Amino acid sequence: GMNPDLASERQTASFSVEKLTAWLDGGAEHTRIRRAVVEAIECDPVFSRENQYFQSQNERYEAAVRKAVHLQKKMHEMGWTEDGPEFKYIYRALSGDIAFLLHRIFMRSISVLGSKQQTAKWIPLATQYQLIGSYAQTELGHGTYLQGLETTAVFDITTQEFILNTPKISAMKWWPGDMGRSATHTVVFAQLYVHGKCYGVHPFIVQIRSLQDHSLCPGITAGDIGPKMNFEHVDNGYLMLQNVRVPRENMLNKFCEVQPDGTYARWGSQKINYFTMTTVRISLISDEAVIPLMKACTIAIRYSVVRRQSKLKPGEQEAKILDYQTQQEKLLPQLAAAYAFHFISNYLQELFDKVYREIQRKMFDTLPELHAFSSGFKAMVTQYCTSAVAICLQACGGHGYSLLSGLPSLYTKIVASCIYEGENTILLLQTARFLIKCFMAASTGQPVPPSVTYLAAVKPGKCPAKNKLDFLSPDVYTEAYQHMAARLISSTAAKLQDLIQSGVKKTDAWNQCTVQLVQAAKAHCHYITVKNFAETVEKLETKAGIQKIMKHLCDLFALHGIFSNGGVFLHDGYVSGAQMDMVTASYLDLLAVIRKDAVPLVDAFDFTDKSLNSALGSYDGQVYQRLYEWAQKSPTNKQMSPAYERYLKPLLHNTLSKL
């Protein structure tokens, strides 16, 4: 049966949950397809995640491989293809709990970086799983800083081969997924040497395991890097290369080539090397940050209306914990953020599609903007969502710490996204570099991309709000964010200039400003997120009920940001102390308003119970019953612990004589 405390929440929704879901999916047809995919995956026992929380690393890995293999069969059965509309929902339906994700990166990097001949040779083999690929970039000693990679590939003109080596321990490839146990091939990034000259980092296809018996190829040392905070199902691996030879044709050569005589030729933009990373960064925002946050919000908010604790009014029943202002203040801003970032992810996807079309036509002008945006938003969104999931976890009291709540594994997984595909601080500094450049250009009247034209018009001013209701105007708060971002960027640029003019070397000046630069880049991304949210809501005008609640969420997201970063808005007097009190008042009022729709707003994310895999967050709200039932399944309850016979019993009975 349905827990009445949860049922009552659904009766008072101010909008149609089904309509909101369809809008989030981009249309009812998409919702239908998504549900069909989820249904097909979840009714198949091979894909079950039921015992996941009780499994060891070895069991998790094996299950992930089994699922990956079974998925091929399933796709065939269902008639799903990689280009079909179903494909993007499969990963969501599996909650990412599957092997061979790097296999896809392997294929993508060959498609993007490989010549026509290379694509023709390798892609069919990979598609047929005649080989399993990985992507070996990161080393023990180097991650985001690619130029520092130490693996070498020396061209041997006599045999027309590259000789790959791991010259020292810090050069060992470390972390690539699927590489520890599964992969037969990998794309190795190595410093290319021809005739003793280094040409920088290039990608090479290298076979690492036998296609017959899976044993390691000569010259290869590879294995699993050991347990991590999460990703037990992935065999992140290490790889050491000793004089491993690959033919000249194994260097991916769409954009550059070593010719038989050793001549190095390059065409097209070098920036294209970054394109794979950009692709991955944009897709991970939704898959690895926003969706997990939506799940965490669903679990925490549903649980918060089931859990009753203490009394708000004497003589009444204990109150739902979501009725406490402090609980609302923890959870509702995270819910608003989940929506805000869902929209930013759509925005980036559109930008990406546009740039991609241009690249196909060999136009690279918009690539820097896309690169800067994908870096900045990857960093900002993953960091924000990670903190948000942690808040959801802690908002569930003790039960949040049980793995059965689903929240610890959401947290330990999302937290990795702050590091992989570019460490966040470094990425924000890349965005900052772009912003400073644009600011300089804008201030000398040169053209800049449309998203940063606001930098041209930095001027002092005051926020026009006169009462707390004025802060519910998107123009008022968007303007405040814009002012704040422009101020932080311009003051950092000025600081940089000052340092350089006073004789400090450019590179030193940059390092001395990095804390400010990071802050400026975040401010820019925050501003764009608010602006994009407001514009998205505005475009929604026809769907009255949904627009109203989305407007509230947008207001909440914006005001929460001002409330919790008061200093940067107060700093130059743009927002006055009295106005800050209005912001706080409006913000706290909004909490109570959104509270009423909190459960419908998470219901609209439309996660099945199986995909949440949480004893606290199920649709029916039977929290305690489920916790109790699931706990019984724990292996620790299935057998008598050997610890009793071995240690407890002697302790209980025999130790006395020894003491």
Partner 1 sequence: EALVINDPDFQHEDLNFLSRSQRYEQAIRKSALMVMKLREYGIADPEEIYWFKSFVHRGRPEPLDLHLGMFLPTLLTQATPEQQDRFFMPAWNLEIIGTYAQTEMGHGTHLRGLETTATYDPATQEFILNSPTVTSIKWWPGGLGKTSNHAIVLAQLYTQGQCKGLHAFIVPIRQLGTHEPLPGITVGDIGPKFGYDEMDNGYLKMDNFRIPRENMLMKYAQVEPDGTYVKPLSDKLTYGTMVFIRSLIVGDSARSLSRACTIAIRYSAVRHQSELKPGEPEPQILDYQTQQYKLFPLLATAYAFHFVGAYIKDTYRRISGDINEGDLSELPELHALTAGLKAFTSWTANAGIEECRMACGGHGYSRCSGIPDIYVTFTPSCTYEGENTVMMLQTARFLVKSYTQVSSGQRVTGMVSYLNDLSRQRIQPQHVAARTVTVRINDPVSLVEAYKARAARLVEAAAKNLQAELNHRKSKEDAWNRTSVDLVRASEAHCHYVIVKLFTAKLSEISNAAVRAVMTELSLLYALYGISKNTGDFLQAGILTDAQITQVNQRVKELLAIIRPNAVALVDSFDFHDVHLGSVLGRYDGNVYENMFEWAKKSPLNKTEVHESFHKHLKLMQAKL
Q: Which of residues 342-381 bind partner 1 (CB under 8 A)?
A: none
* Whole-angstrom distance, CA of residue 307 vs CA of residue 609: 18
Contact segment (CB under 8 A) with partner 1 among 29-37, 156-164, 606-614, 630-638 equals 630-638
158 binds partner 1 (CB under 8 A): no
Nearer to partner 1, 102 or 550 (CB): 102
Instruction: Please state the closest distance from residue 486 (CB atom) to partner 1, in A.
Output: 16
Cα distances from 83 to residues 11, 73, 89, 523, 615, in angstroms, run 40, 17, 12, 37, 35
Nearer to partner 1, 476 or 588 (CB): 588
Among 269, 547, 565, 608, the residue binding partner 1 under the rule CB under 8 A is 565
Contact segment (CB under 8 A) with partner 1 among 193-201, 334-342, 367-375, 641-649 equals 641-649
Window 67-96: residues binding partner 1 (CB under 8 A): 69, 72
Window 210-249: residues binding partner 1 (CB under 8 A): 211, 213-216, 223-229, 235, 238
Nearer to partner 1, 109 or 182 (CB): 182
Q: Which two tokens stand for residue 350?
A: 């559109």
Q: Which residues contact 309 (CB under 8 A, 6 or more apart)?
A: 318, 319, 321
Instruction: Please state the closest distance from residue 656 (CB atom) to partner 1, in A.
Output: 5
Q: Are 208 and 222 in contact (CB under 8 A)?
A: yes
Q: What is the largest CA-CA distance in the chain?
A: 91
Among 333, 376, 375, 387, which residue's Cα sits nearest to residue 525?
A: 376
* Whole-angstrom distance, CA of residue 352 vs CA of residue 366: 10
Among 79, 398, 445, 460, the residue binding partner 1 under the rule CB under 8 A is 398
Cα distances from 509 to residues 441, 506, 514, in angstroms, run 19, 5, 9
Instruction: Please state the closest distance from residue 645 (CB atom) to partner 1, in A.
Output: 9
Cα distances from 449 to residues 269, 370, 603, 637, in angstroms, run 19, 10, 38, 61
46 binds partner 1 (CB under 8 A): no
Instruction: Please state the closest distance from residue 647 (CB atom) to partner 1, in A.
Output: 5
Among 189, 220, 213, 9, which residue's Cα sits nearest to residue 113?
A: 189
572 binds partner 1 (CB under 8 A): yes
425 is in an annotated binding site: no
Nearer to partner 1, 34 or 233 (CB): 233
Strand 185-194 to strand 133-136: parallel, antiparallel, or no bridges (unpaired)? parallel
SS3 223: strand
Window 607-626: residues binding partner 1 (CB under 8 A): 624-625
628 binds partner 1 (CB under 8 A): yes
Enzyme catalytic residues: 421
Nearer to partner 1, 346 or 516 (CB): 516
* Whole-angstrom distance, CA of residue 274 vs CA of residue 427: 13
Secondary structure string (H, E, C) spanning 132-175: CEEEECCECCCCCCHHHCCCEEEEECCCCEEEEECCCHHHCEEC
Nearer to partner 1, 349 or 425 (CB): 425
312 binds partner 1 (CB under 8 A): yes
Nearer to partner 1, 147 or 501 (CB): 147
Window 104-143: residues binding partner 1 (CB under 8 A): 128-130, 132, 138, 140-143
44 binds partner 1 (CB under 8 A): no
Q: Which residues contact 450 (CB under 8 A, 6 or more apart)?
A: none
Among 258, 293, 331, 415, the residue binding partner 1 under the rule CB under 8 A is 415
Instruction: Please state the closest distance from residue 539 (CB atom) to partner 1, in A.
Output: 32
Q: Are 297 and 389 in contact (CB under 8 A)?
A: no
Instruction: Please state the closest distance from residue 26 (CB atom) to partner 1, in A.
Output: 33
SS3 412: helix
* Whole-angstrom distance, CA of residue 545 vs CA of residue 550: 9
444 is in an annotated binding site: no
318 binds partner 1 (CB under 8 A): yes
- State the DSSP code for 318: P
Among 6, 13, 65, 187, the residue binding partner 1 under the rule CB under 8 A is 65
593 binds partner 1 (CB under 8 A): no
Nearer to partner 1, 159 or 634 (CB): 634
Q: Are 254 and 115 in contact (CB under 8 A)?
A: yes
Question: For the chain, first and last CA: distance in Å?
Answer: 56
The angle formed by the CA atoms of residues 200, 204 and 207, to the nearest 5 degrees, is 150
* Whole-angstrom distance, CA of residue 448 vs CA of residue 497: 20
54 binds partner 1 (CB under 8 A): yes
The structure tokens 């729709």 sit at: 597
Q: Which residues contact 524 (CB under 8 A, 6 or more apart)?
A: 376, 431, 435, 452, 485, 489
Contact segment (CB under 8 A) with partner 1 among 114-122, 364-372, 422-430, 461-469 equals 422-430
208 binds partner 1 (CB under 8 A): no
Nearer to partner 1, 84 or 141 (CB): 141
- State the DSSP code for 357: H
Binding mask 161-190 for partner 1 (x = CB under 8 A): --------xx-x-xx----xxx--------
β-sheet bridge partners, residue 251: 204
429 binds partner 1 (CB under 8 A): yes
Instruction: Please state the closest distance from residue 198 (CB atom) to partner 1, in A.
Output: 14
28 binds partner 1 (CB under 8 A): no
145 binds partner 1 (CB under 8 A): yes
> Phi/psi at 407 (nearest 5 deg)?
-75, -40
Among 113, 484, 568, 590, the residue binding partner 1 under the rule CB under 8 A is 568
Binding mask 280-309 for partner 1 (x = CB under 8 A): ---------------------------xxx
324 binds partner 1 (CB under 8 A): yes
Instruction: Please state the closest distance from residue 575 (CB atom) to partner 1, in A.
Output: 9
* Whole-angstrom distance, CA of residue 628 vs CA of residue 648: 26
> Phi/psi at 16 (nearest 5 deg)?
-85, 115
Q: Which two tokens stand for residue 388?
A: 């948000």
CA dihedral 127→132→138→141, nearest 10 degrees, is -170
329 binds partner 1 (CB under 8 A): yes
Instruction: Please state the closest distance from residue 253 (CB atom) to partner 1, in A.
Output: 28
Among 42, 44, 62, 358, the residue binding partner 1 under the rule CB under 8 A is 62
Instruction: Please state the closest distance from residue 193 (CB atom) to partner 1, in A.
Output: 19
User: Where is the binding site, in residues?
Assistant: 138, 177
User: Where is the binding site for FAD, in residues?
Assistant: 138, 177
